[in-house]
Structure 1
Amino acid sequence: MRFESTLHARKTNKNTYKIFITAEYSGVEVKLAPNFEMGVSNKTPQYLNMNPIGKAQIEQWIDFSTLEIDANINAWYRPRNGQAPYHLPVEEAKISALKRALGALNTHLASNTYLVGQSVTLADIIMTCNLHRGFTRLMTKGFTSEFPHVERYFWALVHEPKFQTIIGDVKQTEAVLPLQAPQMPY
């Protein structure tokens, strides 16, 4: 089975090359949007409606997952795991930033099963793996219940056979990982 997708980008861009090479390996047919002009086409209301931060959708979600979800989960996790000094104001700021990111993700997932398109993409794989530590070590049901679409998304994907083959059964933490790093005065 061959899938088809439309890419809004320039043909000679290094990121476009990444997408086309990946598509070749994945059996996905990618077509370029006709008459796409960087700096013009990607500023139109129609384009920004599809891509609010003006990037290719899969790349947008990979960046979001890495910079907004994974970075904040790790900044919360590392001091609690004894890998970094603990500062309560830093932890509070990271949790607040994570909640903001989860809120944005929740809004997107309210009307989407996957991050991009109608099936699992690399963006979904990366997002789910980045959420894994949060769900299993930090984010209790009380924390995640504020983001029901993120919960649905995460649990649906970790129960997919291809995910389970690699990560096995996943259980949500019942308590935030206890503090293992020394507290630093502020």
Structure 2
Amino acid sequence: APPNYFRAQRVEIAAAYSGFKLTKAKYEPGKTDSTLVKKGFPAGCLPAFESGKEQLFEANAIAQFVANEQLRGGSGNSANVAQFANWSDATFVPPMTAWVLPCLGVTRPDAGQIEAAKAQVAAGLKFLDSYLATRTYLVGERITLADVAVACDLLPLFQHAMGPEQRRPYANVSRWFNTLVNQPEFKRILGEVKLADKAGEFSQARYDQLRQQSGGKKDDKKQAKKEEPKKKEAAPKKEEPKKEATATAADESEKKKEDKDPFAKLPVGTFNMDEFKRVYSNQDIKTVAIPYFWQNFDPEHYSLWYCEYLYPEDLRLLFMSSNLIGGMFQRLERMHKHAFGSMVVFGENNKSTISGLWFWRGQGLAFELSEDLQVDYESYSWRKLDPKSDEAKKLVEAYFLHDEGDFGDKKFARGKIFK
């Protein structure tokens, strides 16, 4: 794993508790990733672990392997331990990327993404604080991997983004967190943990320094800002004579339906999205899923789109780029029933790009159907594809096949499927 990688720290802490002799191989950006793929590991999955014939990827699985029975929760609590580790990864890691990386100067801040990240983190901490009100640890009366995993996920937030005022509402979480990081086993790996003494802020100087170190150019402007697409101004409404409210129960019901599902007003069409996703998940993609897609695609009611990330110069480590995609997917939860997407990170650390292929119900940009879908999409260029074109055929095959796709001279690093 990369040095000081927060996903690997839980593995090291678990080994510190159990006494497992863990040897850390030197991580060389680009070279190590290629070596791991040749050994049979999925592209971009870090940390990676080998012990004899055993090969494991993903932090929680490796931590469980090196842990002792106490940390695993025993036979009666192992499911509860896994529950918290998985919940934490889904709840805190994606928003942490959007919030913490600008504070470190790794990426430029995106106000919309940061506000969404703060809201998601706050919701997770509120639940955690309530849960810990009557408990010392998350599962049982002793430290388990549940505590280790959640604490490691929160560490970057507490160290670089959340100041004392932002942590104050979560007294139970703070008490629990401080108890953990002051344990000898935690200290052996993390050292003395110093929490942020003020809310994290973006530093242009730090950003420029990191860009120069990675071979990028320093921003010419004192405070570089991304050019945001101009929003159309609504035409002034004509004054009309006031009418008495005549909303019926049916009107209210229809409005609630639209609020719940942004796609409610669009024609349904003939394409069965659920069935396609079942085929894609359970059948061979090249010989079954792709033919199924073209045989059943409804171009009158569905559309194909290609996207590219607009700011590749901001991308640093590959796992951070992957986390950007993960955060975007979480914020598009309401599109799941009506959309499918394949997003891919190409290249290597400090030299990568992101692009993807999507299709969804409707002919326009789906994100414009609801404000809560618009947090991320303006960071990408979007181009509608002609489903009859050779380009569309090639892109569908490549992006649907994902890590087995033919992307020409682009080097597949890692990716995620929205389904």
Fold shared per TM-score above 0.5: yes
Instruction: Please list, as runs of the form range in 1=range in 2, the aligned pairs for 1:1-186 lying within 5 A after superposition.
Output: 26-27=68-69, 30-31=74-75, 56-180=79-203, 182-186=224-228
Larger of the two Rg values belongs to structure: 2
Distance 1:101 1:169, change over 3 A: same
Which whole-Å CA distance do the structure 2 matches of 1:31 and 1:166 have between them?
A: 27
% identical aligned pairs: 25
Contact 1:73 1:133 in 2 (8 A): yes
Please report how far the alpha carbon of residue 82 of structure 1 lies from its aligned counterpart in structure 2 after TM superposition: 3.2
Count of residues in correspondence between the two structures: 146
Distance in 2 of aligned mates of 1:137 and 1:23: 30
Which of structures 1 and 2 has the larger relative contact order (alpha carbons within 8 angstroms, sep 6+)? 1
Extract unaligned runs of 5+ from structure 1: 1-17, 34-54
Superposed CA RMSD: 2.7
* Deviation, structure 1 residue 74: 2.0
Q: CA deviation at 1:67?
A: 1.1
Structure 2 letter corresponding to 1:140: G
CA distance in structure 1 between the partners assigned to 2:142 and 2:131 by the alignment: 15
Task: Name the CA shift for 1:83/1:23 in 2 (closer, same or farther; >3 Å).
Answer: closer
Kindly provide the amino acid, as one letter, of the partner of residue 61 in structure 1.
Answer: F
Q: What TM-score, normalized by structure 1, do the two folds share?
A: 0.69
Distance 1:32 1:138 in 2: 36
Partners of 1:23 and 1:30 within 8 A in 2: no
Conserved in 1, the CA contact under 8 Å of 2:167 and 2:174?
Answer: yes
Residues 27 and 72 of structure 1: CA distance in aligned 2, closer, same or farther (over 3 Å): same
What is the CA distance between 1:129 and its match in structure 2? 1.1
Structure 1: which amino acid aligns with 2:158? Answer: F
C-alpha spacing 1:60/1:93, structure 2 compared with 1 (3 Å): same
- State the alpha-carbon separation in 2 of the partners of residues 77 and 24 from structure 1: 29
The 3-state SS of whatever aligns with 2:134 is: coil
One-letter amino acid of the structure 1 residue matched with residue 152 of structure 2: C
Residue 45 of structure 1 aligns with which residue? none
- The letter of the residue matching 2:68 is S
- In the superposition, the TM-score normalised over structure 2's length comes to 0.32
Following TM superposition, by how much is the alpha carbon of 1:178 offset from its aligned partner in structure 2, in angstroms? 2.5
Change (3 A) 1:128 1:24: closer
In the other structure, the counterpart of 1:8 is none
| SS state at 2:137 partner | coil
Whichever structure has more strand as a proportion of its residues is 2
Listed as ranges, the gaps of 5+ residues in structure 2 are: 1-59, 208-223, 229-419
Tell me how far 1:142 sits from its aligned partner. Answer: 0.5
Give the Å deviation of 1:57.
1.2
Give the distance between the partners of 1:138 and 1:96, measured in 2 at CA.
13
For 1:23 and 1:177, locate their aligned partners in 2 and report how far apart those are by CA, in whole Å.
35
Whole-angstrom distance in 2 between the partners of 1:24 and 1:168: 21
Q: Which amino acid aligns with 1:92?
A: E
Partner of 2:290: none
Q: Tell me the distance in 2 between the aligned counterparts of 1:97 and 1:25.
A: 30
Q: CA deviation at 1:60?
A: 1.3
- Report if the CA contact (8 A) 1:58-1:122 is conserved: yes
Kindly indicate which of the two structures has a greater share of residues assigned to helix.
1
SS in 2 for 1:56: helix
